[in-house]
Amino acid sequence: MLYWLFKRILLGPLLRVTFRPWVRGLERVPQTGAAILASNHMSFSDSFFLPLVVSRRITFLAKSDYFTGRGLKGRLTAGFFRGVGQVPIDRTGGRASDAALRTGLRVLRRGDLLGIYPEGTRSPDGRLYRGKTGIARMALEAGVPVIPVAMIGTNEVQPPGKVIPKVGRVGVVIGKPLDFSRYEGMANDRFVLRSITDEIMYELMRLSQQEYVDVYAATMKERIAAEKRARSGVVHVVGESVDVDGPALRGSVAGPGRERDDGPAAAAG
């Protein structure tokens, strides 16, 4: 109920008039039946504009932080995200990934549309980053097609870190559904999962015309943060901050962690 209230009355009309979103390939979204909408992720506003142009309800997997705030503000934030069609998941990996998989499968087995950001987090610089394999496992487990979706211009309207968007036009390009039924029964084969995920990311690169970087976006964010610390004269040494000129530089300097696939929990933006 809240989803349609936001889309048709409270938020949707304002977004349409202000940002005049355009869409190509809308006919590729099925009128009935389950499917995964796999989108690039450049802005917080991606989760608003994609549902705006698709007539069916889309449920997104969202990080649990949006739903756990305290006080009146926390309750309002949680209510808003539930209202716009998002469900909370824990992105810490391990058992949390299995829980996220089950949450996504419940949505798909109802015959609904599920929105996922394979990069796992927003792009820090507008480029397209390596996909997490959780989306592939979910597609195989549910036996549903994956529809690639490219968000265009959302990072210009609302760049990362900006709360209030600026007026501009955004677009949505929807690609042909990808059928992975040839891999049926292979959901536990990590090489198959990587192959499927790479195929999805290739389509997103083609549709969005973004530069592709074969590194996880989360890893790149860690590198950017480390560079900022270095420029400010501080590095992290075995879990503690020290001055660049200090003697602790003789110790081990911790860089970005080893990249890994964290399952479907990592696919929430």
- pLDDT tens digit string along 120-137? 889 999 999 999 999 999
Domain 2-214 of CATH type 3.90.1150.10: no
User: Among 114, 99, 133, which residue's Cα sits nearest to residue 262?
Assistant: 133
Q: What is the DSSP string of 201-248?
A: HHHHHHHH-PPEESS-HHHHHHHHHHHHHHHTTEEEETTEEEETTSGG
pLDDT computed for residue 202 by the predictor: 98
For 192-219, write each residue's pLDDT tens digit: 999 999 999 999 999 999 999 999 999 9
Greater model confidence, 164 or 172 = 172
pLDDT at 20 over 90: yes
For 133-164, write each residue's pLDDT tens digit: 999 999 999 999 999 999 999 999 998 778 88
pLDDT category of residue 31 using cuts at 50, 70 and 90 = very high
Domain with CATH 3.40.1130.10 in the chain: 2-214
Torsion of CA 199, 204, 206, 207, to 10 degrees: 140
Give the sign of the dihedral formed by CA 204, CA 32, CA 181, CA 114.
positive
Answer yes or no: pTM beyond 0.75. Answer: yes
pLDDT at 165 over 90: no
pLDDT at 256 over 50: no
Pairing of strands 234-237, 240-243: antiparallel
pLDDT category of residue 251 using cuts at 50, 70 and 90 = very low
Q: Summarize the confidence of residues 76-86 as an average pLDDT.
A: 69
Rounded CA separation 181/145 (Å): 8
pLDDT computed for residue 249 by the predictor: 31
